[in-house]
Amino acid sequence: MHQAFARMLTSGTLAASLCVAGAQAEPVPPDAVVFEDGMVLASLTGVAGNPEEGAKTFVDRRLGNCLACHVNEAMSDHLFHGEVGPPLDGVADRWEEAEIRGIVADSKEFFGEETVMPGFYSLNVGTDVRKDLVGKTILTAQQVEDIVAYLLTLKEQ
């Protein structure tokens, strides 16, 4: 993926944030996230995701709103699970952490431009966006890490 490599080369911010390892590091800015075949190997924040916080962001209609499109048996006490996307039960058996991080951060990098799943840590949210959302991501880097940590608990095997 030479596109990702070029982005890596041109991104001084990323280089800087990689030098500051550990909890104090700044989150990787959304336009500096390195995708490799749609995957994001490194944590966006350097801070371990919190699955309980992730579960809250997942169901929050103003944040992840993941149930709008996905069935998730673990959330069966919440109503109205959409079926636009595949059920997320057992998702951790199907995908590795780096794949799940790539899907949540920017599903277009993973599935291609035609996917209807929003990129949650991407500035590429479409053209018909409320003015106050231009230049912002739907979720913060830590909210993405928390959701990734939550999804990694969804195992069936």
* Footprint of ligand HEC (CB under 6 A): 58, 64-66, 68-70, 84-86, 88, 91, 94, 100, 103-104, 111, 115-118, 120, 147, 151
Q: Which is nearer to ligand HEC, 94 or 155 (CB)?
A: 94
Smallest distance, Å, CB 37 to ligand HEC? 15
Taking the C-alpha atoms of residue 94 and residue 112, their distance in angstroms, rounded to an integer, is 19
User: CB of 16: closest distance to ligand HEC in angstroms?
Assistant: 28
Nearer to ligand HEC, 46 or 101 (CB): 101
CA distance 81 to 130: 25
Closer CB to ligand HEC, 20 or 129, in the complex: 129
- Contacts of residue 122, Cβ cutoff 8 Å, sequence gap at least 6: 30, 105, 106, 108, 137
- Name the token pair of 49: 């995701």
The CB-nearest residue to ligand HEC is 85
Q: Single out the residue of 154, 47, 52 nearest to residue 103, CA to CA.
A: 154
Q: What are 19's two structure tokens?
A: 């030098």
